Structure 1
Amino acid sequence: MSFSHLSPLSFVRPAVDAELEAFVERRRALVLGIGAELRPVLDALDAMITGGKRLRPAFCYWGWRGAGGGEERGIHQAAASLELLQACALIHDDVIDNSDTRRGAPAAHRRLTELHATSGWDGDSASFGQGAAVLLGDLCLAWCEDMYQSSALPAAALSAGREPFNLMRTEVMAGQYLDLLNQAKGSETVEDALRVMRHKTAKYTIERPMHLGAALAGRGPELAPVYTAYALPLGIAFQLRDDILGVFGAPEETGKPTGDDLREGKRTVLVAETLRLTSRTDAAEFRRLLGDPKLGTDAVDWMRSVITTSGALDACEERIVGYVAEANRALEHEALFANARPALADLILAATERKH
């Protein structure tokens, strides 16, 4: 079967979207049967899962195809279940970071804060919004499990996929905590930032979804090392691009205000390289400004200039080039089914040459 007329993301997305919509619609009646008051919570979920790149389902699907899997009934639902895990992670991440927006729209906790404020209910609106968003994230985590287990794949395949599926959920939570810890400790090392990248992004976004696809196709142990060699460098390159966009990306493309990562004080490789490479005076001022939620345009522009003139931006771009080359080399492995190689190569470009 040829996939040349579609990008690997475009090829997967319609089926993933359909599975998500059908699953959430089935659960909607159950939730609304508990109470009509839950409708705004479901509306917040709809807003969250409507957007997104569908990277995790795509890597799962192409991991399946690279292992020799076909168009068996159930693979798209199993892959789509990862979008509910992603929704959980993003909803909780926005609460942790106190973010205002997600994909150009109000973050779930902001949406639910507004519900409380406009309804004239008792108590603090922000606390209500945060608490409701945490519960919504927990619901997505539970539904992720339900969606995976209820897919039409054989029980033996779902059992084989259980290990990477479970590891993925554990590692993303651990990576999120390490990220939170780095910010609390004011970590400034590239090594600490890379450790977060490996667990919060590389393993979660690419490696484990691909391991899951291979396991569902019955070739998990054989292909796991091959997929790891591809996924970990690509996942780090993906996050490096994300960190660059978080500082330099255009708001109309990223869906977030310019320099939002600087206001949130994210301890990225880009920040670590800046503090390592810039002058002592500029480093001290950069540290003072990093994490100030009230950073104005002038301060953000100054910090961006320091990142550029110090050579940190170039250093991160060079890292991306190196990691991309590493991922491409992994695709030469003879164990991969040839028809999946072009799609996996295209996914390298989609993950690293993007504007949002």
Structure 2
Amino acid sequence: MTVSGAARGMLRTEVDRSLKTFLDHQRAVGGGPDVVPLFDAAEDFLAGGKRLRPAFCYWGWKAGGGGDDPAVFTAAASLELLQASALVHDDLMDNSDLRRGMPAAHRRFQALHEKEGWNGSAEQFGAGAAVLLGNLLLLWSSEMWRTCGLPAEALAAAQPAHDHMRTELMCGQYLDLLEQAHGENTFESALRVALYKSGRYSVERPLRLGLTLATRGAPPWTDALCSDYGTGVGIAFQLRDDVLGVFGDPSQTGKPAGDDLREGKRTMLIARTLAAAPPEAAAVVRRLLGDPALGAEGVATLRTIIQESGALAACEEMIKQYLHDALEALERAPITTEARTALADLAVAATTRDT
């Protein structure tokens, strides 16, 4: 049994409608024609995405006994603004050129500067505008959450989890930078980054927000569901992201092939490769990883080493095991069949995707 396509489509439609309503309001009260490019960039950036975080929040709400209050879609949609903020800043930190097949925000604003022939450095303008866009999206995510229309007592009950999620995300981004700066990573450190940078804020925290909004408290079973199901799916989600960052099809991922290799991402895939590859092959990985000029031949070389070391197979097995354990935990939760089925479908979608 799976959740119907109509139900998935309804959720996306409602989330998209909430985002459009909010963005239209921001345009109406915005700072005039000169900031239109900022608003246009935000709108274009929000047009894509899988809406996974709002989906986990919504089905957490339903799992907690929440009704058909349309305000929950607005609360859930606010998480897309948080995600967009993180991606804008992430692309700038990684010096990425593309996101979802379009220019990354800093490249977009750099191109605007060059087209208009403005004074100063186009690259610096692009970077500064991207920082501001990311900050704006972060502020908007809080505003949309706060003004979603759910009862004040429900929002107050969920606020600590909401605050913690944003702090955790920023710490995870820093840990990601730190791993690249250190130059060597262990299984433990790679797993920590996977958990803090994406795993918790992509799955566990949205799920917890929905559950807490509905229950206005923390029944013991909600903690178990969030930690056992949410954390497991979240880690598997990030491990899949790491695999796609090396082996993904650019036509599906919207980013150049092997981008994570050029950026020197110290993922579980790389940690396992360095631990298992012969010394000569490990030396090649260390030499090529993080080279911004890495071409197709270098990407192919690293992919071969990763595969031959057994690291890719090991990460695939980890994803499978985390998903298996999460689904077992889901079966133990005292929730409706509809919510259980939806959360099972979301877990599979999050960990077997190709984008």
Task: Work out whether the TM-score is over 0.5.
Answer: yes
Name the structure 2 match of 1:60.
57
Q: Match of 2:42?
A: 45
The residue number in structure 2 matching 1:132 is 129
Aligned pairs for 1:1-356 within 5 A: 4-6=3-5, 9-31=8-30, 34-218=31-215, 220-222=217-219, 223-356=222-355
Identical amino acids, percent of aligned pairs: 52
C-alpha distance in structure 2 between counterparts of 1:125 and 1:56, whole Å = 34
Contact 2:3–2:345 (CA<8 Å) still a contact in 1?
Answer: no
- Taking the aligned partners of 2:2 and 2:259, their CA distance within structure 1 comes to 37
Q: Say whether the 8 Å CA contact 1:85–1:140 is kept in structure 2.
A: yes
* Cα deviation code 1:201-236 (max 9, x no counterpart): 111001111110011002541112222210111111
Q: Do the aligned residues in 2 keep the contact of 1:45 with 1:136 (CA within 8 Å)?
A: yes
Give 2:339's aligned amino acid: A
For 2:145, the aligned partner's letter is Y
Which string of whole-angstrom CA distances, capped at 9 and with x for unpartnered residues, describes residues 128-149 of structure 1? 1010110011111111111011
- 1:3 Cα shift? 7.6
How far apart, CA to CA, are the structure 1 residues paired with 2:7 and 2:288? 41
Deviation at 1:70, TM superposition (A): 1.5
Q: Distance in 2 between matches of 1:169 and 1:269?
A: 23
Q: How many residues align?
A: 353
Does structure 2 retain, via aligned residues, the 8 Å contact 1:63–1:212? yes
Q: Is the 8 A contact 2:246 2:259 kept in 1?
A: yes
Gaps of 5+ in 2: none
- Deviation per CA, 1:55-89: give whole Å up to 9, x if none: 11000000111111121131000000111111110
CA RMSD of aligned residues (A): 1.3
What do the CA deviations read for 1:75-129 (whole angstroms, capped 9, x no partner)? 0000001111111100000110010000000011100010111111111111110
Runs of 5+ unmatched residues, structure 1: none
Distance 2:333 2:92 in 1: 44
For the residues of structure 2 that align with 1:155 and 1:20, how far apart are their CA atoms? 21
Q: How far apart, in 2, do the equivalents of 1:82 and 1:236 lie?
A: 19
Q: Structure 1 pair 10/350, CA: closer, same or farther in 2 (3 Å)?
A: farther
**Deviation of residue 190 (structure 1)?**
1.2
Q: Distance in 2 between matches of 1:346 and 1:219?
A: 26
Structure 1 segments of 4+ aligned residues over 4 angstroms from their partners: none
8 Å CA contact 1:230–1:328 kept in 2: the answer is yes
Alpha-carbon contact 1:164-1:209 (below 8 Å) kept: no
- Normalised by the length of structure 2, the TM-score is 0.97
Over 3 Å counting, the alpha-carbon distance change for 1:197 and 1:132 in structure 2 is same
**Greater Cα offset, 332-341 or 262-271:** 332-341
- CA-CA distance at 1:151 after TM superposition: 1.0
Task: Answer yes or no: is the 8 Å Cα contact 1:56–1:205 preserved in 2.
Answer: yes
- Structure 2: distance between partners of 1:50 and 1:299: 33
Change (3 A) 1:220 1:11: farther
Partner AA of 2:324 in structure 1 = A
Task: Please tell me the residue identity of whatever aligns with 2:121.
Answer: D
CA displacement at 1:154 relative to structure 2? 0.7
